[in-house]
């Protein structure tokens, strides 16, 4: 039986007007949650103990953040991998793997447990075009293309045993599972893990994997987060009080809080009036724990 958590169980912890809130990331060392506003060109840092949400302004759109073992963050900007130090404001551009694709941009990204940073791209004009790719940034900053013909790269993650890699293509309306080889970093045997009805108005966005190996996928445009079993069956649904949730991650000292970002991009003024918390940061305790996010070792 599918368990439903309704909107009353979801708390708005940062009231914000992010255009595209995205990429929540819990830092266990700092005990804070990083998240971005892509179009607002901001990285936020929320401290749940003080309820303070610090903001760092970037010179261009920032699409994702990851923790860096040497300190600071590994990030993706619109076109570049980069290092960013929130304490000093130092920004170091690394590379643009798609210089020949001016309309493409980075979207979601995550570190694997071998210390590498995986990031996908999308066509920022024709969202449903198969122009994106999936890249792997190694600690020596070498970039490898892992997959092409991606339609709007989005949420990604790994199973607890590190044998399955999950990767979302938003406008194929599916989450795909791959065999993952930690030794070689190869992915293979692509298959559909879960999908959304193309006529439902929603699409799969960011995701995270919990300690039990279940996949939490945010369904943008329909205001929900869905937990899938390792076999792809729907286990529970969290109803979000805004229509455009974007991504989620477990955080808190016990990794028992699910943080959820949201957006107001493409919403009309009437729609925003009906859902004024759009663009805010939310939290819920779903009764399970997540996995710690790895660090980029470069």
For residue 138, pLDDT over 90 is answered with yes
Q: Give the rounded percent of residues in the chain with a pLDDT score beyond 90.
A: 99
Phi, psi of 279 (to 5 degrees): 95, 0
Predicted pLDDT at 185? 86
Alpha carbon distance 42, 33 (integer Å): 14
For the record, the structure tokens of 73 come out as 């963050």
Beta carbons within 8 Å of 212's beta carbon, 6+ residues apart: 160, 288
Alpha carbon distance 135, 141 (integer Å): 11
Residue pLDDT, tens place only, 185-232: 899 999 999 999 999 999 999 999 999 999 999 999 999 999 999 999
Q: What are the Cα distances from residue 121, in Å, to 57, 127, 151, 245?
A: 22, 10, 9, 20
Fill in the DSSP letter of residue 294. Answer: P
Give long-range contacts, CB 8 A cutoff, 24+ apart: 48-55. Answer: 48/13, 48/251, 48/252, 48/257, 48/283, 51/13, 53/14, 53/16, 53/281, 54/86
Mark whether 205 is an active-site residue.
yes
pLDDT category, 20, cuts 50, 70, 90? very high
In the chain the domains, ranked by start, together with CATH numbers, are: 3-296 (2.120.10.30)
Place of tokens 């991650």: 249
Alpha carbon distance 247, 229 (integer Å): 18
Q: What are the Cα distances from residue 231, in Å, to 17, 213, 228, 262?
A: 36, 10, 8, 27
Closest-CA residue to 17 (of 190, 292, 225, 276): 276
For the record, the structure tokens of 45 come out as 């840092």
Residue pLDDT, tens place only, 42-52: 999 999 999 99
Residue pLDDT, tens place only, 102-115: 999 999 999 999 99
pTM of the model: 0.98
For residue 119, pLDDT over 90 is answered with yes
- Rounded to the nearest integer, the mean pLDDT of the chain is 97
Residue pLDDT, tens place only, 145-179: 999 999 999 999 999 999 999 999 999 999 999 99
Q: Which residues pair with 122 in a beta bridge?
A: 105
Q: In what order do the strands lie in the sheet with 42-47?
A: 21-27, 32-37, 42-47, 52-57
DSSP string computed for 221-289? TTTEEEEE-TTS-EEEEEE-SSS-EEEEEEESTTS-EEEEEEB-TT--HHHHHHSTTTT-EEEE--SS-
Predicted pLDDT at 256? 98
Mean per-residue pLDDT, 19-29: 98
Alpha carbon distance 58, 249 (integer Å): 23
For the record, the structure tokens of 89 come out as 């404001």
Q: Which of the following is catalytic: 37, 80, 104, 205? A: 205
């Amino acid at each position: 039986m599918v368990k439903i958590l309704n909107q009353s169980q979801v708390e708005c912890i940062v009231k914000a007007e992010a255009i595209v809130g995205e990429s929540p990331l819990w830092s266990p060392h700092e005990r804070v949650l990083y998240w971005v506003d892509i179009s607002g060109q901001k990285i936020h840092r929320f401290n749940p103990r003080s309820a303070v949400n610090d903001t760092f302004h970037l010179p261009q759109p920032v699409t994702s953040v990851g923790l860096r073992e040497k300190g600071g963050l590994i990030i993706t900007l619109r076109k570049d991998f980069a290092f960013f130090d929130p304490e000093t404001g130092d920004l170091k551009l690394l590379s643009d793997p798609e210089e020949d694709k001016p309309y493409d941009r980075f979207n979601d990204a995550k570190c694997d447990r071998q210390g590498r940073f995986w990031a996908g791209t999308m066509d920022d004009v024709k969202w449903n075009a198969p122009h994106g790719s999936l890249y792997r940034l190694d600690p020596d900053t070498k970039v490898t293309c892992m997959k092409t013909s991606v339609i709007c790269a989005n949420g990604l993650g790994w199973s607890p045993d590190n044998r399955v890699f999950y990767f979302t293509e938003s406008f194929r309306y599916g989450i795909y599972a791959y065999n993952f080889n930690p030794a070689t970093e190869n992915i293979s045997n692509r298959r559909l893990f879960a999908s959304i009805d193309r006529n439902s108005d929603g699409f799969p966005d960011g995701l995270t994997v919990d300690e039990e190996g279940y996949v939490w996928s945010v369904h943008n445009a329909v205001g929900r987060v869905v937990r899938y079993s390792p076999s792809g069956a729907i286990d529970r649904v969290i109803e979000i009080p805004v229509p455009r949730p974007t991504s989620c991650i477990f955080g808190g000292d016990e990794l028992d809080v699910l943080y959820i970002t949201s957006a107001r991009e493409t919403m009309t003024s009437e729609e925003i009036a009906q859902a004024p918390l759009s663009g805010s940061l939310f939290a819920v305790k779903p009764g399970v724990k997540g996995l710690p996010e790895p660090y980029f070792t470069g």
